[in-house]
Homo-oligomer: A and B are copies of this chain.
Amino acid sequence: MSSVLVISGSPSRTSKTERIGEHVAQRLATSGRTADHLRVRTLPADALLGADTRAPAIADAIGRVAEADGIVLATPTYKAAYSGLLKAFLDLLPQFGFAGKAVLPLATGGTISHVLAIDYALRPVVHSLGARHAVQSFFLLDKHISVVDGQLSVHPDSAEPLADVIEQFSKALDGVPHSTVLGRTA
């Protein structure tokens, strides 16, 4: 059984990014696959910013990354790049903390003019962590995401391509036999 960890990096409690992360986790948690969601903003701030990897909640979060077969990174776009909050957590992972894993990079943003930030800024970080397979990324316009009565709604122009990248990520997760992945990362 494969497992996925969604890591969302918005500082806001009412974040659309976080809602998308939750949505993706639910979509991926099917047919014998578990999907969990780590909201970086819920980690203890002092330990996170002080890089205290021995703090129990931080150590636990790092352990959840280590155990996952697939990682989804969901970040808002700030200052033409990923959020500092997300990066502060990635900074605490071991040097090749994504080795053997499939990774799906997702970003949200107010304007389509930020779309390249995900491939120019986030993807090199993902590869420095040694990811086995970082699939095509996806950028969601904020205005395509709405929450009505607690229910997430994604505009059709974004919903279909989002479903596609989730499907591709799903195949990337399963594409290589599990034993091979273990062998390669051992």
A interface size (C-beta, 8 A): 55
- What's the minimum C-beta distance from A62 to chain B, rounded to whole angstroms? 14
CA distance A142 to B139 in the complex (A): 23
Would A49 and B11 be within 8 Å (CB), given that A84-B87, A87-B84 are in contact? yes
**Contact A127–B119 (Cβ < 8 Å):** yes
Which of chain B's residues have a CB closer than 8 A to the CB of A121? 81, 120-121, 124
Q: Which of A105-131 contact B (CB under 8 A)?
A: 111-117, 119-121, 123-125, 127-131
The A contact surface, by secondary structure, is helix
Interchain nearest-CB distance for A54 vs B (Å)? 14
Nearest-neighbour CB distance to chain B for A133, whole angstroms, equals: 6
Contacts of A93 in B (CB 8 A): 79
Q: How far is the CB of A155 from chain B (nearest CB, A)?
A: 16
A129 close to B79 (CB less than 8 A): yes
Partner of A87, one of B81, B136, B180: B81
Does residue A85 face the partner (Cβ distance < 8 Å to B)? yes
A178 to B133, CA, bound (A): 18
Q: When the two chains form the complex, which single residue of B123, B134, B171, B184 contacts A176, counting CB atoms closer than 8 Å?
A: B171
Nearest 9 pairs of A and B residues by beta carbon: A84-B88, A84-B87, A80-B128, A45-B45, A120-B120, A116-B116, A11-B51, A119-B124, A78-B91
Residues of A near any B CB (own CB < 8 A): 11-12, 41, 45-46, 48-51, 78-91, 93, 111-117, 119-121, 123-125, 127-137, 168, 171-172, 175-176, 180, 184
